[in-house]
Structure 1
Amino acid sequence: MTLYERLVNKEDKISLIGLGYVGMPIAVAFAKKVDVIGFDIHKEKIELYKSGIDPTKEVGNDVIKNTTINFTADEVRLREAKFHIVAVPTPVKEDRTPDLKPVESASRTLGRNLTKDSIVVFESTVYPGVTEEICVPILEKESGLVCGVDFKVGYSPERINPGDQEHRLENIIKVVSGMDAETLDIVAKVYELVVDAGVHKAESIKVAEAAKVIENAQRDINIAFMNELSIIFNKMDIDTKAVLEAAGTKWNFLKFSPGLVGGHCIGVDPYYLTYKAEQMGYYSQIILSGRKINDDMGKYVAESTVKKMIKANKQINGAKVAIFGVTFKENCPDVRNTKVVDVIKELEEYGIEVKVVDPVADKEDLWNEYRLNLSNTEEIKDMDAVIFAVPHEEFKAISLRDLRVFFGTAEYANNAAMEEVAATSENNIYNNSNNNVLMDIKGMFDRKEAEKIGFNYWRF
């Protein structure tokens, strides 16, 4: 009987190492088909899961309450499983070189508890060669077992998009690979249990590793191009969004948008590829150029905000600015590598007081990572500028006229006569009496309406 058959018959178990934004949805999906041990080194997180709380908000509390996953922070329980999936983060260091400590640590933990005839599949994004050249030696050293004889390895890059309820594990084609044909066959069959879209069998582990890292590098480069266009068109006083809408009518125009590129994937993965390339003697030209543009966009937003404020005759030192949204993307609590923090730090360099509102962000992670506290919407008053950085669903319920309360102009919102004047006059009372700076990074609001009401409006 093969390992696949033993898993389906529940004679063996799958372990999921790392229960974050990627690992948890995978564990939940497999738990519907086989016995699953969910392991994470963070005991607090495990206790939350055991109590039916999903801190990642990826699958929801109800799903966690009803799943059959055996949650544990006890690494010894990994010995109960024969098919192991490692889904830990792979960040970069301050010098933007790969930080492999999490995947190395996970390999040591698993190695101490690895038993014969197991298969280990890594999902963490890495540069080509990490699985076989770094992880396998650790597994062998810690377990005393020999790869290829006592255990096998594979690689299946994660493609889960945190916060995205449309593109899920089940409906995204899964790339799988194995160290030999037998391993590849078992890994493919195991993932086919939960991936309705099917699998793509890569010809080698390195091919699968490379495929993953270029997926995000390609997206990073395309967004960098959009960001550069935005800088150029803003200098020309041309609305970038309008340009992209016009260009997007052509069938083969790639529909990307400018913005802040953060998070644990797009803003990180390209550095893994360029790091490996440099080891091989090649120095990236396109990839790193795109990275530089995207890494500088936080500063660009802050500088653009200050310029708008100066034109609005605002005193910069001591000014107050509110930022709505601090996570790396909408409707997701993840604050890892968020570029909104770059905006905050740059504004503070000008002596500006910054308040941050985000009903979605993980408050504990935000404090631990950046020493930032959140404010309530009710605290946002008498602002000199407001920046909408992340288009959370909660923010979309806010109308342009509602925004005036944040600038201390709430009295206008209830004045029907002034509303009528605003709707009919080109030079309305709002333009004459207010010069409120509204920075709309993701283009949430209608530009013409914002300017008609009297906002000093800016967007990418």
Structure 2
Amino acid sequence: MNKKICIIGLGYVGLPLAHAFSKKYQVVGFDINKPRIDELSSGFDRTLELTTEEVNESIKNGMIYSTNIDDIKDSNIYIVTVPTPIDSSNRPDLTPLIKSSQTIGKVLKKDDIVIYESTVYPGVTEEVCVPELEKVSGMTFNKDFFCGYSPERINPGDKEHTVTKILKITSGSTSEIATVVDDLYKSIITAGTHKASSIKVAEAAKVIENTQRDVNIALINELALIFDTMNIDTNDVIEAAATKWNFIKLKPGLVGGHCIGVDPYYLTYKSEELGYKPNLILSARQINNGMGKYIAEKTIKLMIKAGKIIKDSNILVMGLTFKENCPDIRNTKVVDIISELKDYGANIDIYEPWIDEKDKGYYNYNFVKNPFENLKKYDSILVAVGHDKFKSLTQNEYDNIINGEKIIIDVKGIVPNPSWKL
């Protein structure tokens, strides 16, 4: 097969994948977001996953960025990398996946392969996506067209573990297609591949990767809450415990982002649908989701203890993205801290150097430019994200913008002398 690949969805996952494939294959990058396509066509990636040079390299390789379905008609491999979020009730929202499948169904041809990379619960590819492909195309699964599943493992902002350097799980709807899919990824993934025994196994493997991490972090977060009541430094405890060879060294903190804070709900949803309540996983989610509220309440208590009036106080929150050194704001739990502080009547300024000025207008927050370069004083400062730019700040710089008694809350363990750290 002379492969022409179409990547559906050009976000944090799809764009780096499209760039990697464009070095060896003819590629079309498809997205319904026209401003995104326009920016990429001009060489700019606002996710900062690719440099301008890399975006232009993909164009030079012959890659097309498009919103036009006519441009993807002659593709024979479709790779779906759209988001799989949760709704306000923590239920999986498969809308982007379903709509992508419907789009592909309109252009699907004999012997085409559709590969899904989006995180799902086991069964979604064959029980949700395939029926949409069949209905729209009028063709029969595993006779006229085939499917594969190869879960994404992109780590936003990580310039070391990039797409080709992360081992890839692959799978296919037949044993022959599984080999085709595996060979396809093997041709660009230098770290190698692992061919799963079925699509459902690959789906399950992806969803438990982040569920395991979520549960482990929840344990550390709960220990941090316990040690805080005991007046013991959690980080000191972790450093001591980590001297044992098999201790898993994790730090307490906010659990947000597009994976760890979301994926477990895909598994718990399906589990409960089948009649089993996953108590441990749900408890871990509850602990991790409560950390923002705990941090906000700790800030307020320290301010009250210092004799500060909470209503109309000025609090500086440093960082809004879900992790350090990237502009990704998806499912960030810093918003929980801000919401709680606002409920107490505090005025919140946000210093976030990683979010583009144009994008700040989308959020209903008061963003400030470098607060260490102006004269405004704050009643407390809360460092929520461990950006490298924040790590270089000195205690004197913090002290210069504090009003009255120093209250500095350090969520990430990067402040020289904080009032309290998680």
1:204 aligns with 2:195: no
Alignment check: 8 A CA contact 2:321 2:385 kept? yes
- Paired with 1:387 and 1:60, the residues of 2 have a C-alpha distance of 31
1:192 is aligned to: 186
User: Which residue in 1 is equivalent to 2:48?
Assistant: 57
Is the CA contact 2:91–2:266 (under 8 Å) kept in the aligned structure 1?
yes
Q: What is the alpha-carbon distance in structure 1 between the residues aligned to residue 243 and residue 158 of structure 2? A: 25
Q: How does 1:103-182 map to 2 (within 5 A)?
A: 103-182=97-176
Contact 1:335/1:365 (CA < 8 Å) preserved in 2? no
Deviations 1:398-456 (A, max 9, x none): 11211122215xxxxxxxxxxxxxxxxxxxxxxxxx5211011010124xxx1xxxx5x
Which residue matches 1:337? 331
- Amino acid across the alignment from 2:16: P
Separation (CA, whole Å) in 2 of partners of 1:438 and 1:134 = 49
In structure 2, distance between residues paired with 1:173 and 1:375: 40
Q: In 1, Cα distance between the equivalents of 2:219 and 2:376?
A: 36
User: 1:241 maps to which residue?
Assistant: 235
Amino acid at match of 1:179: S
How high is the TM-score relative to the length of structure 1? 0.89
Q: Deviations over 1:123-172 (max 9, x none)?
A: 00000000000000001111111111111000000011111112121121
1:23 maps to a residue whose letter is G
CA distance in 1: counterparts of 2:178 and 2:91, whole angstroms: 30
The residue that corresponds to 1:431 in the other structure is none
Structure 1 residues 380 and 83: CA distance shift in structure 2, 3 A: farther
Correspondence 1:29 to 2:23: no
* Unpaired segments ≥5 residues, structure 1: 8-12, 409-433
SS of the residue 2:73 aligns to: helix
Provide the residue aligned with 2:421 in structure 1.
Answer: 459
Distance 1:371 1:126 in 2: 31
Q: 1:25-424 residue pairs with structure 2 within 5 A?
A: 25-67=16-58, 68=61, 69-362=63-356, 367-368=361-362, 370-378=363-371, 381-407=376-402
Pick the structure with greater CA Rg: 1
Does structure 1 conserve the Cα–Cα contact (< 8 Å) formed by 2:171 and 2:199? Answer: yes
Q: How many residues align?
A: 417
State the partner residue of 1:436.
406
Question: Judging changes above 3 Å, is the alpha-carbon distance between structure 1 residues 366 and 135 closer, same or farther for their aligned structure 2 residues?
Answer: farther
Distance (Å, rounded) in 1 between the aligned partners of 2:352 and 2:338: 14
- SS of alignment partner, residue 386 of structure 1: strand
What is the Cα deviation at residue 77 of structure 1?
A: 1.5
Q: 1:105 to 1:96 in 2, by over 3 A?
A: same
Assess, with a 3 A threshold, how the Cα gap between structure 1 residues 134 and 458 changes in structure 2: closer, same or farther. same
The amino acid across from 2:370 in the alignment is T
Amino acid of the residue matched to residue 242 of structure 1?
Answer: D
Q: Distance in 2 between matches of 1:223 and 1:149?
A: 44
Query: How far apart are the structure 2 equivalents of 1:336 and 1:153?
Result: 28
Question: Whose helix proportion is higher, 1 or 2?
Answer: 1
- Conservation of the 8 A alpha-carbon contact between 1:78 and 1:114: no
Query: Which blocks of at least 5 consecutive residues in structure 2 are unaligned?
Result: none
CA separation of 1:117/1:380 partners in 2, compared to 1, >3 Å: closer, same or farther?
Answer: farther
- How far residue 75 of structure 1 moved from its aligned partner, in angstroms, is 1.7
2:7 paired residue number = 16
C-alpha distance in structure 2 between counterparts of 1:101 and 1:50, whole Å: 27
Q: Taking structure 1 as reference, are residues 404 and 36 closer, same or farther at Cα in structure 2, changes over 3 Å only?
A: same
Give a deviation string over 1:60-91, Cα, whole Å, max 9, x none. 22211221321001122111210111000000
RMSD: 1.3
Q: Distance in 1 between matches of 2:330 and 2:377?
A: 30
- After superposition, what is the alpha-carbon deviation per residue over 1:292-350, rounded to whole angstroms, capped at 9, x for unaligned? 00011110110010011111111111111001100011111111111000000000000
Can you list the C-alpha shifts for 1:150-198, whole angstroms capped at 9, x where unaligned? 1100000001111111212112110000011110011001001111111
Cα distance between partner residues in 2 of 1:245 and 1:123: 37
Amino acid at match of 1:64: V
Cα distance in 2 for residues equivalent to 1:25 and 1:261: 24
% identical aligned pairs: 50
| Stretch moving more, 343-352 or 374-383 | 374-383
Once residues 100 and 364 of structure 1 are traced to their aligned partners in structure 2, the CA distance between those partners, rounded to angstroms, is 29
Normalising by the residue count of structure 2, what TM-score does the alignment of the two structures yield?
0.96
CA distance in 2, matches of 1:361, 1:342: 18
CA distance in 1 between counterparts of 2:350 and 2:69 reads 38
Q: The residue matched to 1:80 in structure 2 has which SS?
A: coil
- Secondary structure of 2:143's counterpart equals coil
Equivalent in the alignment of 1:413: none
